[in-house]
Amino acid sequence: MSDTQEKKNLAEKIASAFITSKITPLLVIATLFIGIVSIVMTPKEEEPQIVVPMVDVFVPYPGASAGDVEKSVTEPLEQIIWEIPGVEYVYSTSMNDMGMVVVRFKVGEDEEKSMTKLNDKLAYNMQQMPHGVLEPIVQRQAIDDVPQMAYTFWSKDLDAYQLRRIASEVEKRIKEIENISKTEVIGGYKRILRIEPNIEKLRAYNLDLFRMFKAVESSNLSLNTGDITKNNKVYYVSAGGFYKDSENVKSMVIGSHNGKAVYLKDVAYVYDGPEIPEHHLMMGFNKDKTMERYQAVTLAISKRKGSDSVVVSDAV
């Protein structure tokens, strides 16, 4: 008997044993059950969990032009960072008053050790920076910082200021959800409180900008002054308070003139409303033949590292 026939006979015996065995259906069911459990329990990721340490280094240099920042800060900093083992790429950007260097380490480098090496290198060489350069700001970047979901709020009736306030309220609720790492509202008009002083009126009340600034700054403070114990109860006493609305700011006393209090509204215009936006976001539809665009605001949501994308999406 040839070897081929012996192998066929062995395969036939094994197949026959599984076909006639009562354990075979149990094995099939168990295999299917394990596969289903694996699919359900395995975390789903839009991006694979590849460890690629990447860091942004911001170096403030107040008063310096982009050219001075490049020659005095970013170029020397690039050379210093290239000395760190494991660094693969270094990119730099120079601008007025600020220099930014993006450092990317090799794939698989330990993230914590890479951050430690970078911080140690910067701290050791900061004395080589010119006078006036402030301490660098090191900000870690990761794949999970990329937004996983984005919700766009738009309306035919509401403006961008109102839409942003609605999106901000939704953002507060979403931040309470487990495994939410970061949220960002893009577009719309932020609410600001702007004080526009009237120089002529300030002079008429013998006041100046410095006194007005100090009065505004000192009035927005709350200090604990102590406590009082009475009848087995403790009463905590605080002085001052924070601004609650624009009326509190307008009614703030900033000085006196001829024995009368001078309020902020007497010498300045207090504006409470939307600011000039940094981003303009519009919403349109292909089926709309008029090609009309509506003001919109987007809420971007990022999940925590290692969390299940599907679970986070369902929770949101």
* Most confident segment among 213-217, 222-226, 236-240: 213-217
**In Å, how far are 5, 21, 171 from 16, measured between CA atoms?**
16, 8, 62
The token pair at 192 is 């600001």
pLDDT band at 226 (very low <50, low <70, confident <90, very high): low
Looking at every residue in the chain, the average pLDDT score rounds to 79
Residue 239 banded pLDDT, cuts 50, 70, 90: low
pLDDT band at 315 (very low <50, low <70, confident <90, very high): confident
Tokens of 59: 């170096």
Average pLDDT on 163-188 reads 84
pLDDT in tens, 29-78: 888 888 888 877 776 655 556 677 888 889 889 888 888 888 888 888 88
Instruction: Indicate if the pLDDT at residue 140 is higher than 80.
Output: yes
Question: Distance between CA atoms of 185 and 164, rounded to whole angstroms?
Answer: 8
Q: Is the pLDDT of residue 240 over 60?
A: no
Dist CA 189 CA 93 (whole Å): 28
pLDDT tens-digit readout, 64-79: 888 888 888 888 888 8
**Of residues 95, 57, 96, 92, the one with CA closest to residue 75:** 92
Count of alpha carbons within 13 angstroms of residue 99, beta-carbon side: 26
Q: 75-79, 162-166, 275-279, 299-303: which range is least confident on average?
A: 275-279
Check if the beta carbon of residue 239 is closer than 8 Å to that of residue 223. Answer: yes
User: Whole-prediction pTM value?
Assistant: 0.52
pLDDT at 119 over 80: yes
CA distance 23 to 18: 8
Q: What is the DSSP string of 151-189?
A: EEEE-SSS-HHHHHHHHHHHHHHHHTSTTEEEEEEESS-
Of 63-77, 91-105, 169-183, 264-278, the poorest mean pLDDT is in 264-278
